[in-house]
């Protein structure tokens, strides 16, 4: 029987991927999912016990990540009382993927049992008080990608029985953010602006985003958050500030290698922070 297509049958494809993950990990129910963005993969060295790992290429419907800094693995971890499904890497709109492919991992994770989805990313810092290496809770987002995961004539067919017109009032769960602040009271919060990329923003665009209320800017996360919320999961978002946004530091240049280096430098602390937050859920 052919694998359902992630665009024409996105929820069937998610169920098939979840079944494959269950077989490979021998875990019937993962209750938490964690998506690792650019530079976050080294944090896994201090994040709970790994019980199983597989390549994303071996999971139905998963396009393998091609961007440096995304490991391209699906891993099962034990963190406290939780079974955590870790997606070490993601794909992006700028790679030419449709929204359904970008959010396929999150949909598969929810189909595998996850009722909490933790999304991480690398971001440019717009607000002057944010510094490189700092982890910031996402309070809300501006989706400026021009795309959404519930759009399209077939996007809702065979779906979860809820309207495609999903309420995003509490998209980044206030309850989960409270838990995270209880674990690490020094965590700042900010609004994340999601742009399509892959080019970095111009100084004029950053000034525009600051006027709109954005504290952080990046090229991911927003569509995955919407897809998770649409399926009834709670969402927690964390950005790692890896560079000053364009024009905010006259001496800074923007380079993806520096993004990855910032992740490596912060890895131990990020892994410990993620583990403590997940354990407290």
- Residue 74 covered by a domain: yes
- Residue 78 covered by a domain: yes
Question: Of the ranges 145-154, 180-189, 242-251, which one carries the lowest mean pLDDT score?
Answer: 242-251
Q: What is the mean pLDDT of residues 48-75?
A: 81
Report whether pLDDT(155) > 70: no
- Residue 1 covered by a domain: no
Q: What is the CATH number of the domain that holds 63?
A: 3.40.50.1580
Q: What is the mean pLDDT of residues 64-84?
A: 81
**Packing angle, helices 222-230 and 104-111, rounded to 10:** 30
At 228, list the tokens: 């998770």
Q: 89 falls in which pLDDT band (50, 70, 90)?
A: confident
- Residue 4 covered by a domain: no
- Residue 42 covered by a domain: yes
- Residue 135 covered by a domain: yes
- Residue 214 covered by a domain: yes
The top-scoring range by mean pLDDT among 5-14, 154-163, 168-177, 246-255 is: 168-177
The top-scoring range by mean pLDDT among 70-79, 188-197, 237-246 is: 188-197
DSSP string, 180-199: HHHH-TT-EEEEEEE---SS
Q: End-to-end CA distance of the chain, in Å?
A: 38
CB 8 within 8 A of CB 62: no
Coil, helix or strand at residue 204: helix
* Structural domains counted in the chain: 1
How confident is the prediction for the chain on average, in pLDDT?
89
* Cα 198 → chain centroid: 17
**Predicted pLDDT at 36:** 93
Report whether pLDDT(153) > 70: no
Q: Residue 274: give the domain boundaries.
A: 10-280
> Which H helix or E strand runs over 242?
strand 234-244
Q: Which amino acids are annotated catalytic? A: 38, 70, 92, 94-95, 122, 219-220, 243, 256
* Cα 190 → chain centroid: 16
> Which H helix or E strand runs over 179?
helix 174-183
CB 246 within 8 A of CB 203: yes
- Residue 241 covered by a domain: yes
Q: What is the mean pLDDT of residues 218-244?
A: 95
Q: 191 falls in which pLDDT band (50, 70, 90)?
A: very high
**Predicted pLDDT at 207:** 96
Q: Which residue has the higher pLDDT, 268 or 193?
A: 193
Q: Tell me the whole-structure pTM to 2 decimals.
A: 0.93
Question: Distance between CA atoms of 97 and 49, rounded to whole angstroms?
Answer: 32
**Predicted pLDDT at 49:** 82
**Packing angle, helices 256-280 and 174-183, rounded to 10:** 90
């Amino acid at each position: 029987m052919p694998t359902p297509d992630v665009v024409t049958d996105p929820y069937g494809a998610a169920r098939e991927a979840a079944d494959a993950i269950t077989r490979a990990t021998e875990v019937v129910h993962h209750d938490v999912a964690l998506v690792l963005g650019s530079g976050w993969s080294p944090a896994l060295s201090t994040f709970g016990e790994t019980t199983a790992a597989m390549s994303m290429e071996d999971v139905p419907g998963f396009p393998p990540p091609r961007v440096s800094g995304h490991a391209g693995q699906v891993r099962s971890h034990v963190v406290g009382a939780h079974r955590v499904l870790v997606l070490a890497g993601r794909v992006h709109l700028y790679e030419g993927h449709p929204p359904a492919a970008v959010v396929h991992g999150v949909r598969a994770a929810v189909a595998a049992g996850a009722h909490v989805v933790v999304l991480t990313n690398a971001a440019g810092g717009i607000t002057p008080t944010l510094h490189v290496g700092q982890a910031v809770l996402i309070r809300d987002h501006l989706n400026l990608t021009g795309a959404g995961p519930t759009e399209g004539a077939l996007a809702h067919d065979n779906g979860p029985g809820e309207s495609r017109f999903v309420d995003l009032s509490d998209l980044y769960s206030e309850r989960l953010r409270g838990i995270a602040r209880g674990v690490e009271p020094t965590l700042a919060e900010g609004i994340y602006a999601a742009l399509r990329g892959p080019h970095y923003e111009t100084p004029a665009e950053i000034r525009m985003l600051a006027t709109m209320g954005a504290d952080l800017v990046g090229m991911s996360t927003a569509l995955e958050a919407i897809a998770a919320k649409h399926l009834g999961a709670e969402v927690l978002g964390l950005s790692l500030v890896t560079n000053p946004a364009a024009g905010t530091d006259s001496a800074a240049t923007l380079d993806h290698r520096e993004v990855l280096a910032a992740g490596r430098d912060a890895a131990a602390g990020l892994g410990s922070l993620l583990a403590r937050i997940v354990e407290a859920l």
